[in-house]
Amino acid sequence: MQQDNHQESIVIDPVAMNIVNRVAPGTRMTGGIESDGGLIVEGTFIGSVKVTGGPLVLMQGGVIQGDIFCSEDAYLFGTITGPTDDVHAEIEVAGAAFLAETLTAKANLTAADFKVYEGTQFDGRIRTVRKPQHAQSKVDTSSSA
Amino acid sequence: MSAANITRLVVGDKYHITLGKPVGQRKHDPDISKTLIWKNGRWERSVSVLERVFQAPAKKSSVIEIDPKASGQGNAWAKLQSLVKRKPNVLIARLVLAVFGTIAIVSSLALMIGKWQESSSPETAELPIAAAPTAPQAPASDQTFPFPDARPAGEAEAGRVVPSAVQVDPGPYVIPPEIKAMLDKPDTAAVPAVAVSAPAVPTPATKQPVIATPSGQPAAAKPPANTQQAASEKVPQAMLFDAEGTAPVTAAAKVPSAPPTPQSTGPKVETQVKAPLKAPTVLVAVTPDGKSALFTNPATRLPERFSVGEKIPGGETIKAIDKNGGTVKTDVRDYKLE
């Protein structure tokens, strides 16, 4: 993670972060997915998402409509909503949840750690729990002026 | 094809994504100086007290910053007043307190010393007064007369009259000790031999105003005979008469004068003695039995004892002696004890 002008950025390296699956932009997927590896969502996924062995990266423009479970870190840049409009989605992150400035979520978050950035729109409850197993993140926290 | 390549093929290559501005403490944030970050055992961006003391320049409060836009002296005066109303300089306050404290201590010590001096020597103030000739005989303020009923001044009660010398009943005259000693001597030795033939001092009726001059003085001091006669009437008793110039027309008066014999024991009157100054005959004392009286011999200035019928040095004959009244009557005048 790099800091530039007081903003942090991250480098997503699929190979280093063991991201094996991708929902390409313009893709609309319905159902449930369980990924043994990281997942990048750039399209729309309606259903439950369970990601283990890797991070969950919800890119800007990506939409997840359903519950989310991630055993490692989750980088949320897109949109998260519940199964229905009046229901909040349940997000469980064993690692750290990064709520980026472009995130729009209507969910209840349960994570070991979380980091909020200015501009994020989160409608829901945020709860932190002791992470039973924290996966080492590839985020570079060195600051660069 | 490796898995990595497959992954890159499927997922894509690595790419850089901006998360945004984190919420909360941020590094390199100019506003972070308002917050404290604990790092390496100290608060970051914090200034220690020592740094503030030694580095921060002290603002001079004695300099008045006058706004150039302000008009007149009102603004400067207001600033000056604001300076005055500030807390006083600690150093100046301490100096003032020290000065006042020193003054108070010195004044108290001076008062204590003055009171001690006054209490230690209360009679020193009376020494100048006691320097008078009669001072040795004058009793001190705290002394009391040796009267039977005399009491110390401090013990005098209100309404109780303390006897004093003024209230003593005069009664019979108290003869001085030296005179009394002379009275105790036998009459034969003390009786002066009065020259009956001629008085040494001319009588008041035949007094001539001649001022006796001591030997060696110029004769100009001696007034002429004419003026002496004119002033004869005005000659007081204290005036001394010259034996030569004022001698009556008697043979005894023309007897050549002999040098005065200073006889302390012999009260014999020497009419031939020429004394430059003669004291008048004064009644000194009266004997308790009332038979004799003491008169001062002008020639010798010694008291002499005379009885009734005898002639005193003044040429007068004693007629009567009143011991109670202290008076002696002569054929010419009456003498009274002073």
Question: What pLDDT does residue B213 have?
Answer: 47
Inter-chain residue contact A20 with B19, CB threshold 8 Å: no
Residues of B in contact with A102 (CB under 8 A): 20
Question: What pLDDT does residue B249 have?
Answer: 45
Residues of B in contact with A122 (CB under 8 A): none
For residue B333, pLDDT over 50 is answered with yes
Question: What pLDDT does residue B106 have?
Answer: 96
Complex confidence, ipTM: 0.77
Q: Does B1 touch chain A (CB under 8 A)?
A: no
Residues 124-163 of B with CB under 8 A from A: none
Question: What pLDDT does residue B168 have?
Answer: 53
Best of B5, B8, B18 to mutate (most A CBs within 10 Å, chain A): B18
Q: Which two tokens stand for residue A34?
A: 């369980």
Express as a percent the part of chain B with pLDDT over 70. 42
Question: What pLDDT does residue B209 have?
Answer: 46
Question: Which residue of A lies nearest to B11 if distances are taken between CA atoms?
Answer: A22
Residues of B in contact with A11 (CB under 8 A): 14-17
Categorize the per-residue pLDDT at B105 as very low, low, confident or very high, splitting at 50, 70 and 90: very high
Question: What pLDDT does residue B263 have?
Answer: 47
SS3 track for chain B: CCHHHHHHHHCCCCEEEEEECECCCCCCCHHHHHCCEEECCEEECCCCHHHHHHHCCCCCCCCCCCCCCCCCCHHHHHHHHHHHCCCCCHHHHHHHHHHHHHHHHHHHHHHHHHHHHHHHCCCHHHHHHHCCCCCCCCCCCCCCCCCCCCCCHHHCCCCCCCCCHHHCCCCCCCCCHHHHHHHHCCHHHHCCCCCCCCCCCCCHHHCCCCECCCCCCCHHHCCCHHHHHHCHHHCCCCCCECCCCCCCCCCHHHCCCECCCCCCCCCCCCCCECCCCCCCCCEEEECCCCCEEEEEECCCCEEEEEECCCECCCCCEEEEEECCCCEEEECCCEEECC
Residues of A contacting chain B (CB within 8 angstroms): 1, 3-4, 6-16, 19-22, 40, 59, 75, 77, 98, 100-102, 115-120, 143, 145
Rounded to the nearest angstrom, the minimum Cα separation between B16 and chain A is 4
Transcribe A55-110 into DSSP letters. Answer: -EEE-TT-EEES-EEESS-EEE-SEEE-SSTTS-EEEEEEEEEEE-TT-EEEEEEE
Instruction: Work out the average pLDDT over B67-87.
Output: 62
Quote the DSSP letter at residue B19: E
Closest partner residue to B21 (CB to CB) among A6, A12, A59 is A6
Residues of A in contact with B13 (CB under 8 A): 14
Categorize the per-residue pLDDT at B243 as very low, low, confident or very high, splitting at 50, 70 and 90: low
Question: Which residue of A lies nearest to B14 if distances are taken between CA atoms?
Answer: A13
Question: Which residue of B lies nearest to A6 if distances are taken between CA atoms?
Answer: B21
Inter-chain residue contact B11 with A116, CB threshold 8 Å: no
Question: What pLDDT does residue A90 have?
Answer: 95
Closest partner residue to B20 (CB to CB) among A8, A59, A145 is A8
Question: What pLDDT does residue B11 have?
Answer: 77
Model pLDDT for residues A82-128, shown as the tens digit of each residue: 999 899 999 999 999 999 999 999 999 999 999 999 999 999 999 99
CB pairs A-B closer than 8 Å: 91
Closest partner residue to B27 (CB to CB) among A9, A98, A143 is A143
3-state DSSP assignment of residue B8: helix
Q: Does B2 touch chain A (CB under 8 A)?
A: no
Pick from A63-67, B46-50, B153-157: least confident: B153-157
Question: What pLDDT does residue A8 have?
Answer: 85
Best of A1, A2, A8 to mutate (most B CBs within 10 Å, chain B): A8
Instruction: Work out the average pLDDT over B283-299.
Output: 89
Instruction: Work out the average pLDDT over B193-222.
Output: 47
Residues of B in contact with A3 (CB under 8 A): 26-28
3-state DSSP assignment of residue A17: helix
Q: Does B10 touch chain A (CB under 8 A)?
A: yes
Rounded to the nearest angstrom, the minimum Cα separation between A84 and chain B is 28
Residues of B in contact with A4 (CB under 8 A): 18
Question: Which residue of B lies nearest to A78 if distances are taken between CA atoms?
Answer: B19
